[in-house]
């Protein structure tokens, strides 16, 4: 079936105005993925970003195992196009694979044959903000879609949230989640929780105020919104959480937005009815310029629990109080049940950019433990009593500057982790990085440009290496010498690595009940590893920049699919004894 006609923004606006009629028409479509299926996905399905609400990226399928994984062959492959790196985690429901390419393009493919069913392009202007296009931090990437009742939901780079008909790719409704023409963007995958679509945003470097919003999945009407940081107190504070937060800021931070954008990690506990969201870094990066050098600046770089029905704040844990280093906590989270000190605990786990692996009680937010999984020089440890980092003397680098690890790239970034309940291990790619940080002498907020207030480079104080105030270019943190990427199997109870191998990080991880780990690297190698030892059992060359794999079953046959590519991205799908696919 040929790709559908491209739909331009003007057409989307017209369709958005007719949302009621389109909703009625879409009711004729199959029910598809409803709330019950999302709560208990079938073993052969991949219905939401992490496969389940706990975001484990773990499948119960066992047909592909250590005895036959070396016979995996390419079942099919299809080009989906990209102008930049693909980062999507595809979803599979009722025999159809759904995913995204760069520039918020959405596609649907027959998961058995690889036949393209439809493709939808929002027609975003690619000439930059001056040409009327969206402004974004780190490439025109998109990490995926959500499914619910015959619809596919996607967040667009220009801040829109769009619902598409899952059978045809036609627009059902579209809402602008951010101020039109602003410096916000969306790159993360939406989540569906109790009939609501949850979506965050990015753009902290440009000077925005982050928030998470829930929309009614049927109509697109806003259900609730929670702001990460307080706005101008003179205009009023939205809720009690903002009244608490405002006490941890100083000066006129709102003029540069404050930051905190929740651009990626979201998880949900149905029993507790809590949504967990990881929040972004401050705007500007330097607390000296952002908050006169004082305060924790809630709720930057935090994990926050909200009531799923109302968005009401319940608890928070701040991984990096008063963040000065772009150590945001927007990375993926995993929910699990662990036995710690002989006691069963319902936990939340995260490996954020700051280099520590955290285990929290997900019902109360209580800090349970943390340990470094990479080289960390900004803090010596996390105080077990307070849960706060014990910073090193050079951590608050100021105008003098200091070389610190990790760099703003972080020890672990957006690639999803996976949790295997049998091994009890969390699997994720990481990296050893360092950079020189130095506060700029002055800060002058400029709309439409990077506003960090921090210089980065090989030598602190070197003008050529500086990210000056208002610079439109993204900084280029200096990595430590040598190859320092790694892939680790982390024991969250013992807080130590069970095995670790050299690795070139690219995308996220898939775990299966047959004790296999699937992951790809930046050079295009797609691999199956033994979950207990890290031994490579199978390898296939795809394209540079492998994203996050999924697995599914159709007609009794298990498949593994992954996207790869930094230009002209493709979907690669493998099965045991498959002939060379097209």
Catalytic residues: 326
Beta bridge partners of 522: none
H or E stretch at 174:
strand 171-176
CB-based contacts of 274, cutoff 8 Å, min separation 6: 268, 305, 306, 307, 308, 314, 362, 363
| HSE (side-chain half, CA atoms, 13 Å) at 46 | 34
Tokens of 302: 């935090």
Torsion region of 165: left, alpha or beta (phi above 0 gives left; psi -120 to 50 gives alpha): beta
User: Which burial class, exposed, middle or buried, applies to 449 when counting CB atoms under 10 A from its CB (0-12, 13-18, 19+)?
Assistant: middle
At residue 10, what are phi and psi to the nearest 5 degrees?
Answer: -60, -40
Specify the pairing of strand 191-193 against strand 171-176.
Answer: unpaired
Task: Say if residues 149 and 33 touch (Cβ distance below 8 Å).
Answer: yes
Torsion, Cα 287 289 293 295, to 10 degrees, reads -60
Report the candidate in 546, 521, 498 with the shortest Cα–Cα distance to residue 357.
498
In order of 138, 225, 237, the CA distances from 222 in angstroms are 28, 8, 19
Beta bridge partners of 382: 389
Task: Say if residues 563 and 90 touch (Cβ distance below 8 Å).
Answer: yes
């Amino acid at each position: 079936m040929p790709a559908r006609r491209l739909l331009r923004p003007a057409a989307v606006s017209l369709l958005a105005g007719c949302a009621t009629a389109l909703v009625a028409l879409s009711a004729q479509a199959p029910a598809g993925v409803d709330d019950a299926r999302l709560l208990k996905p079938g073993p052969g399905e991949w219905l939401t970003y992490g496969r389940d609400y706990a975001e484990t990226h773990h499948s119960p399928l066992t047909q592909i195992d250590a005895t036959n994984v070396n016979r995996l062959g390419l079942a099919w492959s299809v080009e989906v196009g990209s102008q930049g790196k693909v980062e999507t985690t595809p979803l599979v429901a009722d025999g159809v694979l759904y995913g995204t390419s760069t520039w918020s393009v959405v596609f649907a493919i027959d998961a058995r044959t690889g036949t393209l069913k439809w493709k939808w392009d929002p027609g975003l202007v690619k000439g930059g903000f001056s040409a009327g296009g969206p402004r974004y931090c780190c490439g025109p990437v998109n990490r995926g879609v959500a499914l619910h009742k015959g619809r596919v939901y996607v967040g667009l780079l220009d801040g829109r949230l769009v619902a598409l008909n899952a059978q045809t790719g036609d627009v059902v409704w579209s809402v602008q989640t951010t101020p039109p023409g602003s410096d916000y963007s969306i790159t993360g995958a939406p989540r569906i929780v109790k009939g609501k679509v949850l979506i965050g945003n990015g753009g902290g470097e440009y000077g925005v105020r982050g928030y998470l919003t829930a929309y009614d999945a049927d109509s697109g009407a806003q259900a609730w919104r929670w702001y990460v940081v307080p706005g101008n107190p003179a205009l009023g504070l939205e809720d009690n959480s903002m009244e608490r937060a405002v006490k941890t800021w100083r000066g006129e931070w709102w003029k540069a937005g404050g930051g905190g954008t929740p651009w990626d990690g979201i998880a949900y506990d149905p029993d507790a009815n809590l949504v967990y969201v990881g929040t972004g870094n401050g705007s500007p990066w330097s607390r000296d310029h952002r908050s006169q050098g004082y305060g924790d600046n809630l709720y930057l770089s935090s994990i926050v629990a909200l009531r799923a029905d109302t968005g009401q704040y319940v608890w928070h844990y701040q991984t990096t109080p008063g963040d000065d280093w772009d150590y945001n906590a927007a990375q993926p989270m995993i929910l699990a049940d662990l036995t710690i000190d002989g006691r069963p605990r319902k936990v939340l786990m995260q490996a954020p950019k700051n280099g520590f692996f955290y285990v929290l009680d997900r019902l109360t937010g209580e800090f349970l433990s943390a340990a470094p999984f990479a080289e960390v020089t900004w803090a010596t440890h996390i105080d077990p009593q307070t849960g706060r980092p014990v910073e090193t003397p050079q951590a608050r680098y100021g105008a003098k500057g200091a070389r610190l690890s990790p760099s703003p790239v972080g020890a672990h970034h957006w690639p999803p982790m996976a949790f295997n309940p049998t091994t009890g291990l969390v699997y994720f790619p990481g990296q050893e990085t360092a950079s020189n940080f130095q506060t700029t002498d002055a800060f002058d907020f400029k709309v439409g440009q990077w506003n960090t207030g921090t210089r980065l480079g090989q030598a602190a104080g070197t003008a050529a290496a500086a990210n000056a105030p208002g610079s439109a270019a993204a900084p280029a943190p200096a990595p430590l010498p040598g190859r320092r990427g790694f892939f680790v199997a982390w024991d969250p109870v013992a807080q130590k690595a069970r095995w670790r191998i050299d690795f070139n990080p690219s995308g996220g991880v898939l775990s299966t009940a047959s004790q296999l780990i699937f992951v790809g690297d930046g050079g295009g190698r797609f691999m199956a590893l033994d979950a207990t030892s890290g031994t490579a059992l199978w390898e296939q060359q795809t394209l540079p920049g492998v994203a996050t794999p999924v697995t599914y079953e159709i007609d009794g046959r298990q498949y593994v699919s992954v996207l790869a590519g930094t230009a002209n991205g493709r979907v690669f799908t493998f099965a045991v004894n498959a002939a060379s696919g097209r």
